[in-house]
Structures are given as structure tokens and as C-alpha cells.
Homo-oligomer: A and B are copies of this chain.
Amino acid sequence: MRRFAADRARRAVAASLRAAASRSGAPSPLVPAPRHPAHPVGAAAMAAAAMARAMSTATKGAPAVSLDTINPKVLKCEYAVRGEIVTHAQNLQQELQKNPESLPFDEILYCNIGNPQSLGQQPVTYFREVLSLCDHPALLDKSETHALYSSDAIERAWQILEKIPGRATGAYSHSQGIKGLRDEIAAGIAARDGFHASGDNIFLTDGASPAVHMMMQLLISSEKDGILCPIPQYPLYSASIALHGGSLVPYFLDEETGWGLEVDELKKQLEEARSKGITVRALVVINPGNPTGQVLSEENQKKIVEFCKNEGLVLLADEVYQENIYVEDKQFHSFKKVARSLGYTDDDLPLVSFQSVSKGYYGECGKRGGYMEITGFSPEVREQIYKVASVNLCSNVSGQILASLVMNPPKAGDESFESFMVEKDGILSSLARRAKALEEAFNSLEGITCNKAEGAMYLFPRLHLPQKAIGAAQAAGTAPDAYYAKRLLEATGIVVVPGSGFGQVPGTWHFRCTILPQEDKIPAIISRFKEFHEKFMDEYRD
């Protein structure tokens, strides 16, 4: 009887959460606000929680923690980049290790995540030399060290240690990060933008994710607080909004115009959210785009800045792919530079720029370095941000050092400069070639169209699936793009993330594929993919 009641409660919660997801603007699969009268995401979840709690009192003696009793916001959160398909891939990998002949491929190719070094990209030597020296400063006093490390790396390690109180890389730093490193990052930002930047505005974080969570925590009080997010979006945003109990207010990027970001669409969605009683607090823009790979034009960015200024929104600028641009006619402009070039100051616009050491040409995901630069917040609000940062004491010091290195890499004349540039240019030009090869391959196939990856690390091809394939997916109880991704994995070992994990215009289907496999593997990947896709289309052609 008890078990039955608990099961019933669990089903009730699950049903209620599904209903909440389908009514809301949240992705996977994303239902656009216009078609269904949207409710705030949190409302149904809260009702479900109340129900679950009512049920759980009826099951006293049940385990202390169950799906009925945990925070429903946790239940609601989704993160497809490491979701079901990846778990399936990991299981196949174990199978492959046990029994190499059991599957029609000999390795799993993780194209689900922007994790370059997991696919063989080598770290930048100079950065690693400096990190290695800072980890073991006793080396700096030894003459043998010169046989192993470049002289400018040794010099740089000395400079960095001078900036760390007591040269103690093993001490908690200031909760925003080591002041001297923040100043160095600010100098790098100023050199990039041509506008002043201050180390006082930098918060160093363990990768960009904790910085995003901090801002969501600050801005979201309840489901009445909305955050405008692109669809498709990087699901960190939907996950963080769900965990903090807010409402994701979707705006759709226009696939026809290369994932264009139209201010008219922003306005429409903002008005609609407001009409439902949602106070929209911020706009998230990912530039270069993830999963879409587009690079915004400066003109477009100006309009976005004006929109935020006029509507009183915080502009949350995800700029972690700022070094990843692959086309001649586009370049990266930070939103802060665009705002300043319009004459807007700290008084006009609250603006947060997120940066990470995980992306760029360095791709140091495992180091968990990153920062946010915050401008346009009052001293009292900044104090609150600092307080929350201080609860976690500080981000990891190696990540802090690396963030200062990527924002101030070797300069012409430094001993390492030439070899550094060879490594950097080698990685970036290879990424550009890989992006182009994959894009062309996808576009050559029946039923696939694919926008150019102007930047970032991904392609987001659209699948024009035959009705028969959609029917097969429905029969299997999965979304058509998830069905396709599963079949692709099982046939080729290639792991991609279904578009439903990022959100997409309803009735369209996509997948995200990184451009990160090593270049010499790309031809084989393309031919494996092509073979699978042609068979799949043959199987399901209407």
C-alpha cells in the first residue's frame, strides 16, 4: 500500500512536470509560446511539489530521500550535452572494451561536447610550462630548470608569483580572484576592445558555468522572473534557470538567415512574457553562437544593446568562443565594446561578459578557469555578488593563472612567441578546415541542410526527415532527432546531441555535432556518417 502511494505520487509529479515543460517556453522539446497559452515554468512544478509532499506524508517510513521528496527544481532541470545519448555511448564503450568485435565500429567518437583535448588536441606548450612552474615554485630556484622550460615561461612564472600574496598558489585567494591577475585580464580586455577595463570588475570562476549560475541566482526570485534565451540555446541556461526556479522566455534564432537574431523577435517575446505577468530581467546572447555557430554583426549587436538599454534588461553576453572565428568576413566584437562605442557608460546598462579557458584555441576544459566581467551594477548589488562569491571562497588558482595567460599570451619578441603562434594558428586553421569539410559533407546529403559554422565549435544541421522515420520514432517513444542520433550512434559510434536538447522551432529536427575530431580522422567520419545516413533515408523514404 505504501509503495503504491509512493509510486502514484511519483507518477503524478512526473506527469505534472511533463505538463509544465510542454506549457512553458523551456526546451526539449520546445513548444513555442504563441501556440500554447504559456504558464510560468515554475507554477506547475510547485503544484507538483505540494502534491508530492502531501503524498509523502501518507508514506511515512519511506526512505528519507526519494524522487517525491527532493527539490522539484532539480527534477525539472535537464542537460542533454551529457544526457541519455551519452550514457548510452558510455555503455557501448564498455561493451567495446570487453568485446571489441561486438559492434560495427571500433571506437566511440564523442562529438557531443566541446572538449578538444579529449579528442587529441594538444595543450599549448607555453601555458602548460607556466602552470607547471607555478605548481612547484621550488623549481624556479634551480639551474636545471632552464634545461626543461623556456626562459620566458620561467620569467612569466616569476611575474605571476609576484602577484600572489606570499607567492602562495596553495592559498585561498581574494574571492574575486588574485588582484594582479584580474588587472592583467582587464588589460587584455582593454587591448582587445580599445576601451577601459578594470580588474575590480572581474570575478574569476571555475569555468564560466558557476558565473552563469551566480547571475541567475541573483536575478531570479521566483517563476515570475524571466530570462530571455535564444532557441536553440546552450542548455546550461535552461538548466540554471530551472534550478533557480525562474522562467525561460524563448526567442527564436532564424535558421533561414544563418541563425539571425532579430530584435523584432526579442520585442515580441518580451511583450508576450510581460502580458503573462513575467518580469523579464535579462537577455542571454551567445556570440559566437552555441549550438548554432553564427557570429553576430556589429550592427546587429548595436540594436541588441539599444534594446536592453530601452527595456531595462541585464545583458548576459556569453562570449566564450571569442577566439573561435573561421570566416574572413566576420570578426568578434565584445558587447562591452559595442556598448561603449555607442557612448553608453556604466550608468546606462548592466552588462556581464562570460569568458572561459575551456574554449578558444587553448581548449583547456579540465582546468576550469574562467571569469565574468560585470559593469553597470550599483555598488550595493556588486557587494551582494561579492558576498555570494565569498561563500565559495575562491576559484582554483591554476585556472586563475591560465585565465590571465589566455588574456595576455606571449608577445612578439618573447622566446616562445614563434612556437606559440605556430601552435595557435595550427589549431585555429585546422578547426576552420574541419568546420568547412563537415558542413559541406552534411549539405551534400539528402534531407540535410546545414548553416556555416562561422565560429564556435559546432555545426547544427537540420534533418528533413521522412514521415516514415518520424512515425518510427513515435513508435519508439522518442523525438525524431533523438531517434536519429541513437541510430547514428549504434551504427557508427559517433555521438551527437539531438536538437531537442537545445530547443528548436517545433516540427523541425536538428543535431549538434562538434568540429573537434582530429583532422586526419575527418574523412573517415564523413564516410561513416554518409553511409549511415544514406541507409537510414533508404530505410524510411516515404
A-side interface residues toward B, CB under 8 Å? 49, 53, 61, 63-67, 69-75, 77-79, 81-83, 113, 115-120, 123, 125, 128-129, 131-133, 135-136, 138-139, 142, 144-145, 147-148, 165-166, 168-173, 175, 206-207, 209-210, 213, 217-222, 224, 236, 239-240, 243-244, 279, 281, 312-314, 350, 358, 363-368, 377-378, 380-381, 384, 387-388, 390-399
Point out which of A70, A145, A224 has the most chain B C-beta atoms below 10 A from its C-beta: A70
State how many angstroms separate the Cβ of A160 from the closest Cβ of chain B. Answer: 13
Cβ of A118 to closest chain B Cβ, rounded Å:
4
- State the copy count for this chain: 2
With A115-B172, A218-B71: A144-B135 Cβ-Cβ less than 8 Å: no
Q: Given A144-B144, A219-B71 in contact, is the A117-B170 Cβ separation under 8 Å? A: yes
A314 to B69, CA, bound (A): 12
Q: When A117-B170, A172-B366 are in contact, do A398 and B135 touch as well, CB less than 8 Å? A: yes
Q: Which residues from chain B contact A397 at a C-beta distance below 8 Å?
A: 366-368
Cβ-defined contact, A367 with B388, below 8 A: no
Let me know if A377 and B65 touch, CB within 8 A: yes
For residue A369, which residue of chain B has the nearest CB? B396
**A67 and B380 in contact (CB under 8 A), knowing A117-B166, A392-B207, A396-B368?**
yes
Please measure, in the bound complex, the distance between the C-alpha atom of A220 and the C-alpha atom of B380, giving whole angstroms.
28
CB-CB under 8 A from A53, the residues of chain B are 221, 224, 279
How far, in Å, is A189 (CB) from chain B's closest CB?
21
Tell me how far the C-beta of A50 lies from the nearest C-beta in chain B, rounded to whole angstroms. 9
Decide: B113 and A172 in contact? CB cutoff 8 A: yes
9 new A-B pairs (CB below 8 Å) besides A115-B171, A117-B170, A144-B148? Answer: A67-B381, A74-B217, A128-B135, A128-B136, A139-B148, A170-B367, A239-B391, A243-B391, A367-B396
Across the interface, which residues of B come within 8 angstroms of A206, CB to CB? 206, 368, 392, 395-396
Which residues on the B side are within 8 Å of A368 (C-beta)? 206, 394-397
In the assembled complex, which residues on chain B have CB atoms less than 8 Å from the CB atom of A129?
136
CA distance A114 to B219 in the complex (A): 31
Chain A to chain B contacts (Cβ below 8 Å), 12 pairs: A64-B313, A65-B314, A67-B380, A70-B219, A70-B221, A118-B166, A118-B172, A132-B136, A135-B135, A135-B398, A147-B147, A148-B148
B residues within 8 A CB of A220?
A: 71
User: A118 touches which one: B139, B144, B171, B207 (CB < 8 A)?
Assistant: B171
User: Which one of B49, B166, B394 lies within 8 Å of A221 (CB-CB)?
Assistant: B49
Contact A120 B243 (CB under 8 A): no
User: With a CB–CB cut-off of 8 A, which chain B residues contact A378?
Assistant: 63, 65-66
Report the separation of the CA atoms of residues A504 and B61 in the bound assembly, to the nearest whole angstrom.
34
Minimum CB–CB distance from A458 to chain B (whole Å) comes to: 15
In the bound complex, how far is the Cα of B75 from the Cα of A221, in angstroms? Answer: 11
For the complex formed, measure the closest distance between the CB of A57 and the CB atoms of chain B, giving whole angstroms. 9
Closest-by-CB residue of B relative to A133 is: B132
B residues in contact with A82, CB < 8 Å: 175, 390, 393
Most chain B CB neighbours (cut-off 10 Å) among A81, A172, A394: A172
Residue from B49, B77, B395 in contact with A391 in the complex, judged by beta carbons closer than 8 Å:
B77
Nearest CB of chain B from residue A139's CB, rounded to whole Å? 6
User: Is B79 a contact partner of A381 (Cβ separation < 8 A)?
Assistant: no
Residues of B near A244 (CB, < 8 A) are 71
A361 to B26, CA, bound (A): 47
Q: Which residue of B lies closest to A396 (CB)?
A: B368
Q: In the complex the two chains form, what is the Cα distance from A224 to B132 in whole Å?
A: 49
A77: chain B residues within 8 A (beta carbon): 387-388, 391
Q: Name the B residues within 8 Å of A73 (CB-CB).
A: 217, 221
